[in-house]
Amino acid sequence: MIGRAANTVLRRSRQQVRPPRTVCPFCFEADHIGGRNHIPHVTIDECQLHHALLTEERLAAGAEMKKQTHTIKSIEMALRSLAVTGHAIAWAVDRLCEGMEFCAEKLTAGYDKRT
């Protein structure tokens, strides 16, 4: 545990020194959402910023990205990592739904004014 905490502190200090990453359509990279050492063939494309944020969340959730000695432990780490990804996707879909509801309300209000 001390090693993970030290790595997190080091990572955060590096993030403070580096300029913030901007999101652009060219900075997408493959993210191994189940862990490269656990499910190497399952990836999604995401920007560098969100890749870094999700990696931090995965580590905070206890998903070790190192190769595990036992198959069961590797499956556990993959599931922890996938759960973090699932939460992030659910949050994004929820925000999208809120935006669509807002648009629908505005359209309804505009339609009601016409009639």
3-state secondary structure of 55: helix
Arithmetic mean of pLDDT, 64-71? 92
Measured over the CA atoms of residue 8, residue 11, residue 17 and residue 21, the dihedral's sign is negative
Q: Which residue has the higher pLDDT, 20 or 27?
A: 27
pLDDT band at 21 (very low <50, low <70, confident <90, very high): low
Arithmetic mean of pLDDT, 26-46? 87
pLDDT band at 55 (very low <50, low <70, confident <90, very high): very high
Give the predicted TM-score (pTM) of the model: 0.67
pLDDT score, position 1: 45
Residues 78, 65: Cα–Cα separation, whole Å: 8
pLDDT reading at 3 higher than 70: no
Residue 98 identity (one-letter amino acid)? E
pLDDT reading at 96 higher than 60: yes
Angle, helices 48-60 vs 71-114, to 10°: value is: 130
Residues 59, 8: Cα–Cα separation, whole Å: 9
Task: Tell me whether residue 25 is exposed, middle or buried, using C-beta atoms within 10 angstroms of its C-beta: 0 to 12, 13 to 18, 19 or more.
Answer: exposed
